Structure 1
Amino acid sequence: QAATKVMMKKKKGRVINIASVVGLTGNAGQANYSAAKAGVIGFTKTVAREYASRNINVNAIAPGFIASDMTAELGEELEKRILSTIPLGRYGQPEEVAGLVEFLALNPAASYITGQVGATSTLFVPFGYLNSEI
C-alpha cells in the first residue's frame, strides 16, 4: 500500500504480484494454498481496474514448479510424475521467473499490459503446467 501511494502521486507505476499456477488450477491437498493464490489473482485483476486510470499497471505471475530446495526434496517417483505434466519436461528456473518480473516492471513494451496473470513460457498460459492431476 505504501508503494502504491507513491505511484498514485507520480501518476505512474507497476505492481507485480506473485501467485501460483495452483491458484488457477487447484491441486489436491493444497486447498488453503490454492485459495490464497487464487485470492492474489482476483486481487490483481480488481486492483488493475481500480488503478488503471492512474497509469498504474498491476499484473501477477503464476509460476508452476520452479527448481528450489523444496522441489529437490520431492523424491524420484513424485518428481517423475510432476515432470510428466510439464510440457517442457523440466522445472522452471528462478531466473526465468525473474525475467518476467523484470519485463513487466521495466520494459516499455509492457506499458499496455495490466490485469493479466502470466508466467515465463507465455504471458497468458500458466508456466510449465498442464491441467492434469499429479
Structure 2
Amino acid sequence: MPDAPDGPELPPHVYVPGVTRRHPEGWFDRIKASVTDEVAVTDLHHTAAWQAGRAYFDAGYYWECHEVLEAVWMRTPEGSQERDMTQALIQLANARLKITMQRPRAAWRLCNMVEGHLARCDATARILGLEVAEVRHWVVQTRKTLETT
C-alpha cells in the first residue's frame, strides 16, 4: 500500500460508491480505535484517526476520510468548535466525493453546510490544527471545481 506524503499509509484504492469496490470490513478499525475517552478533545488532532483523515483528504481518498473522521466527530461535544471543524472536514470530503460521483447539486449543498459549520467557529482560532481560513479556502477550491464541471 502506498504511503501518503509524510503521513499514514493509504488504503489500496479509493472507494467511490457504485464505481469501485468497498474496503474489507474492519479495514479502518485500528485507526478509529486511536480515539479514546482518554484523549482530550483539544488533542484529537494528534490521534491516528485525525492524522489519517487529513492524509486521506489531501490524497483524494474522500470516502475513507469520512470513515475515520467519524470516530473523531463522535468524541467531540455537541456545540463545540472541535465538532464543527470535524464536521466541516467530513462534509467537505463528502462534497468532493460527490463531485467524483458526478452529483454537483449534492456537492454544492454540502459546501453550504461546511460554511455553516465554519461560521460557528472562531475565525481567528486554530482548531484541531486547522485554521478556519484554510478550510474556507478549500471550500472555495471545491466550488471552483464545481463551476468547471
> Same fold, TM exceeding 0.5?
no
- Higher RCO (CA 8 Å, separation ≥ 6 residues): 1
- Give 1 or 2 for the bigger CA radius of gyration: 1
Structure with more helix by fraction: 2
Identify, as 1 or 2, the structure richer in strand: 1
TM-score, normalisation: structure 1: 0.30
